[in-house]
Amino acid sequence: EDQVTQSPEALRLQEGESSSLNCSYTVSGLRGLFWYRQDPGKGPEFLFTLYSAGEEKEKERLKATLTKKESFLHITAPKPEDSATYLCAVQEVPAGNNRKLIWGLGTSLAVNP
């Protein structure tokens, strides 16, 4: 069964303490992997798209990487404003017209000052 698993479920960091979030996936063929940030009471906000193994994308303190089986979201020297839930979604090479994304459950990140 195609699925996306994110770990850990929750992570608490001190300001400046770097760490990584994981998104592992099992699909027959990967079209793209997407990272989103979701603040409490808000809709998800798009961060990155990764298409092929070895690809990396960066934005401020965040860097996303991709292998054939998983993606990492590295957070360098996080600040309290980085606190949010980070969602991963995978789009598989479609067998039909269904273009749906397969979503993970997210990692809830809290950064303490």
Partner 1 sequence: NAGVTQTPKFQVLKTGQSMTLQCAQDMNHNSMYWYRQDPGMGLRLIYYSASEGTTDKGEVPNGYNVSRLNKREFSLRLESAAPSQTSVYFCASNFLTETGELFFGEGSRLTVL
Q: Which spans of this chain sit near partner 1 (rule: CB under 8 A)?
A: 31-32, 34, 41-46, 49, 87, 89, 91, 97, 99-101, 103-106
50/75 with CB nearer partner 1: 50
Least distance to partner 1 from the beta carbon of 8, Å?
A: 15
Least distance to partner 1 from the beta carbon of 90, Å?
A: 8
Least distance to partner 1 from the beta carbon of 18, Å?
A: 26
Chain center to CA of 48: 8
80/94 with CB nearer partner 1: 94
In b/e form, how buried is each residue of 83-94, taking b as 16+ CB within 10 angstroms? bbbbbbbbbbee
**Burial bucket for residue 9 (CB in 10 Å: 0-12, 13-18, 19+):** exposed
